[in-house]
Amino acid sequence: MMSWLQGLDPTVQDVLSAFGRALLVILPIFMLVPFMIWYERRLLSWMQDRVGPNRTGNITFSRKSKLVPGFLKGKKFKLFGLLQSIADGVKLFTKEDILPGHIDRFLFLIAPSISLFVSLSLAGTLPWGPFPKLTPVADVNIGLLYVMAISSLGAYGSVLAGYASNNKYSLMGGLRASAQLISYELAMGVALGCMVLVTGSLKMTDMVAQQSQPLWGVVPFLYNWNVFTPWGFIATIVFFVCMIAESNRPPFDLPEAENELVAGYHTEYSTKRWGLFMMAEYIAMFTFSMIFFTVFFGGYLLPIRIDNPSFKAIEGYLAPLTMLGKGAFGLSLYIWLRATFPRLRYDQLMNLGWKFLLPLATGNLMIIASFLFAQKAYGNLAGAGVAAVGYILLIAIWLANRSKKSEVEKMESRTATMVSDTDTPTIVVGTRRKPAAPAPAPGGGE
C-alpha cells in the first residue's frame, strides 16, 4: 500500500494527504456532537438543581432468560442518559419532513449546509500537536486571516434561512444575526491583530511555538502563554466575549430569542434541517473554544514546562488529548454562561460591541504597536515605560467615561397607592414626572 502511494504523482500525494488530515479533524468532531449535547443538558441540570437526561441507554439483563449468561443475569448498567442525544438524532432524521409553502426553496434548503460547512471549516488551520504531517489540515501563512474569513461566512446561513423562510420572525432573526456579526467581528479581528503583532505571524503553529518559551523569559517551568501578558489578557477578554456572540449563544442569542421571535431564523425549520443547525452550533462552539485556547493558552502545550526530551515526547503524544480537554473546558464556559446570565437587550448588545469592546481592543492594539516600536528603537526599558503609560491612559479614559452623568432625562415613574376608606380596597395609580424648569422672572430680558 505504501509503495503504491509513493509511486503516485507528488501532487496526487499532497491531495490525498490533505484529504486524510481533513478526515482526522472532521470525523472526531462529528462523533463528539452527541456527547456535547448530552454534556450541556447534564451540566445545565446540575447548575439549575433539576434532573437532566439520566435513563436513556440504561441496560437491565433479565433474571430468567436462558439467552443471558449467568454472570449477567439481573445486572444493571447505567449510562446516565448518554444515549438520549443519539435517540433524539434518530428521531429528527426519521420524522416526516415538512416544507412550508411560499418559501425560496433553493435558499431554504442550502442555508443549513452553509452553517455546517462554516463550523467544520474553522478547524482547517488548527494544530492538534507537533506533527506537521498530520495536523493542521493546511498550515498556511494566513492562518488567523482564514479563521476570520470563514467565521464571517457563518452569518450567511442565518440570514439566508431567515430570508428564505418568508416569515417575519425568521427575517428579523436573520437581520439580528448579521448586525451582531458586524458588531463583534471587528472587535474580534482587532483582538487577534494584537496577537499577530506580538507573534509576527498569522500562522497558528507559529503562535504555539512563540508561547512555548519560558514565562516572561525568566520562569523556566511555565510556558509564556499570551494570556499572562497585559495586552494578551485584554485581548483574551475581548476575544472570549466576541466568540460567544459569534456563536449566537446565550446571553447573545438574540437571533433565536424565543420570547420575541418564536425561534428566530430557524422558526420554519424542522427534522433533519433543524438538526443541521444544531450540529453547526455545537461544532462552532467546540472549534471556537480550541481556537481561543490555541491563540491565548498555548494550544496543545501542557501548563507545566519541562525542558527535557522525554517530557517533550510525552507532551507531543498527549497533544490531541490536551486539545480535547481544553475544548471541553471552553464548552463548559459556554454552558456556564447560559445558566448564569439572562439574555441581553438589543441595545445592550450593540453598546457592548461598539462602545466598549471595539474601543478597548483598538486601544490595546495601539499600545502594543507603540511598545514594539519603542522596544526596537530604544530598548526594553523604554518599551515597558511606553506600555505602562498607555495602559494608565486607557484606564483613566475608561474611568472618566464611567463617571460622566447621563444627560438623558429620567423616565416617568408610576406609583400605586392602596385606598381602603371603603369596604373594597382599590388602587389609585398616579404619575410622577420630572419637575419642570422654573419660568423666567418678569422683566428678566429676552
- Write down the pLDDT at residue 3: 61
Please indicate whether residue 98 or residue 226 has the higher confidence score (pLDDT): 226
Grid coordinates of 289? 473554544
Question: Per-domain residue ranges for the chain?
Answer: 95-401
pLDDT-derived band of residue 434, with 50, 70 and 90 as boundaries?
low
**Residues 222-233: what's their mean pLDDT?**
89
CA 168 to each of CA 54, 164, 179, 271, 343: distance values in angstroms, whole numbers, following the listed order: 38, 11, 16, 21, 21
What is the C-alpha separation between 372 and 276, in angstroms, rounded? 45
Q: Is 80 helix (H, G, I), strand (E, B) or coil?
A: coil
Distance between CA atoms of 133 and 17, rounded to whole angstroms?
A: 8
Query: Average pLDDT in the 116-140 region?
Result: 85
State which amino acid sits at residue 318.
Answer: L
pLDDT > 60? residue 146: yes
pLDDT of residue 425: 55
CB 242, CB 187: distance < 8 Å: yes
Among left, alpha and beta (phi > 0; psi -120 to 50; other), residue 324 is alpha
- pLDDT tens digits along 289-306: 999 999 999 888 888 888
Q: Which residue has the higher pLDDT, 446 or 422?
A: 422
Output the pLDDT for position 433: 52
Band of pLDDT at residue 333, cut at 50, 70 and 90: very high
Q: Is 204 or 65 the better-scoring residue by pLDDT?
A: 204
Q: What is the mean pLDDT of residues 398-417?
A: 60
DSSP string computed for 209-261: HHTTSEETTTEEEEE--GGGSHHHHHHHHHHHHHHHHHTT-TTS-GGG-HHHH
Residues 182-209, mean pLDDT to the nearest whole number = 90
* Those residues with Cβ within 8 angstroms of residue 166's Cβ, 6 or more apart along the chain or in another chain: 100, 102, 103, 104, 268
CA distances from 66 to 72, 74, 75, 111, 252 (A): 11, 12, 14, 52, 56
In this predicted structure, the answer to whether residue 407 has a pLDDT above a threshold of 50 is: no
CB 112 within 8 A of CB 280: yes
> Considering only 182-196, 336-350, 425-439, which range has the smallest mean pLDDT?
425-439
Confidence of residue 100 (pLDDT cuts 50, 70, 90): confident
Residue 57 has pLDDT above 50, yes or no: yes
- Statement: residue 12 has pLDDT above 80: no
| Mean pLDDT for the stretch of residues 308-326 | 88
| 3-state secondary structure (DSSP) of residue 430 | strand
Q: Which three cell numbers stand for residue 81?
A: 442518559
What's the grid cell of residue 6?
A: 509513493
At 446 the pLDDT is: 43
Percent of the chain past pLDDT 90, that is, above it, reads 17
- The mean predicted confidence, pLDDT, of the chain is 83
Average pLDDT, stretch 87-112?
85
pLDDT at residue 289 in the model: 93
pLDDT given for residue 329 in this prediction: 92
The predicted structure's pLDDT at residue 409: 43
